[in-house]
Amino acid sequence: PKTDIVFLKVHKSASSTIINILFRFGETHNLTFAFPKGGGNQLFYPHHFLARFVQGFSPRRSQRFNILCHHMRFLQPEVQKVVSSSAFYFSILRNPVQLMESSFAYYKGASAFARVKSLEEFLSHPHRYYDPTSKDSHYAKNLMTFDFGFNPNAEVSPKRVQLMLEAIEASFDLLLISEYFDESMVLLKEMLCWDLDSVVSFPLNIRDSSTKSPLADAVVEKIKSWNRLDWEIYTHFNRTFWERIDRDIGRERLQREVKALQERKAELARICLQGVGSVAPKDIKDSSLQPLQHGSAKILGYNLKQGLDQETERVCRRLVTPELQYSSALYKKQFAPE
């Protein structure tokens, strides 16, 4: 199994669920994480990543970390200073239409969104509300482009798009697609030589559907054109994702593996969870399992069954621990005073 991994956590793209997978794998195999200085969950985002943002990094020592997965704005030459040269790089993309709808709910306080009542209102006159120079403007336009380290306000020319796609392809071994999450996990498992249980997960940091509303076709088209660079990235890598599946796994085996993954997930849900799955924040009984609430989104969480034996409880708890709590527990463990 591969143990040196760089995961670029792209906002609002099922990244928190993948982080949970990486945290569990790293903890089980006693791997080291490249934590932000002083803990926390952001490597000085939205600044471009620098090696010195990592706790314990020193240019004089050649210490390498196994897993780099906290929020960062990608800059490969700096990333290469903290991980081994053989590290496996991957990320996950999401359809920019749903991504923007999610971003609007989650980052409602961002300067571009704060003065509008709806996404439609913002899109009808985006330049009235959007200021590319404000420090949180990246939440409102081409967010994936920004996270990959590029300029979200660049003009969209075929040449620029081509260079951007080539740069991403040169840096990353694999790009997953959040709309095909289970298929993505099967492909990830294959590429990393991991076992099934290592990629099983429950969805984390998801919001209650009561805050979601369907988008009119006209709005969808406006989102695509406003986030044109993101749209180009997404459509290109959605295509290469399926080419990769066909080349490395094949559709028949993919179906079997997805089925096995879903069955294992259902089995773990029966063993671990009280009730039928995720619950509203007010219904989470164990405060240590309470996810961070943000913007106008209601972020769901889980209740564990009572009376589990110690080992089962440990496995189950890790599956449902929100990112911030899990990260801080691992940080304390890694930097425990000797």
Domains of the chain (ranges, CATH numbers): 5-335 (3.40.50)
**319 close to 201: Cβ distance less than 8 angstroms:** yes
**Which residues have C-beta within 8 Å of that of residue 120, sequence separation ≥ 6?**
216, 219
Residue 218: what pLDDT? 96
Residue 219: what pLDDT? 96
Residue 63: what pLDDT? 85
Q: Is 238 helix (H, G, I), strand (E, B) or coil?
A: helix
**Which residues have C-beta within 8 Å of that of residue 87, sequence separation ≥ 6?**
4, 5, 6, 68
- The rounded distance, in Å, linking the Cα atoms of 126 and 128 is 5
User: Residue 105, class by beta-carbon neighbours within 10 Å (0-12 exposed, 13-18 middle, 19+ buried)?
Assistant: buried
Residue 277: what pLDDT? 87
Instruction: Report which secondary-structure segment, H or E, holds 248.
Output: helix 228-248
For 296, which DSSP code?
Answer: T
Residue 165: what pLDDT? 98
Residues in the chain where the model's pLDDT stays below 50: none
Residue 297: what pLDDT? 76
End-to-end Cα spacing for the chain? 29
pLDDT digits (tens, 9 = 90+) for 233-270: 999 999 999 999 999 999 999 999 999 999 999 999 99
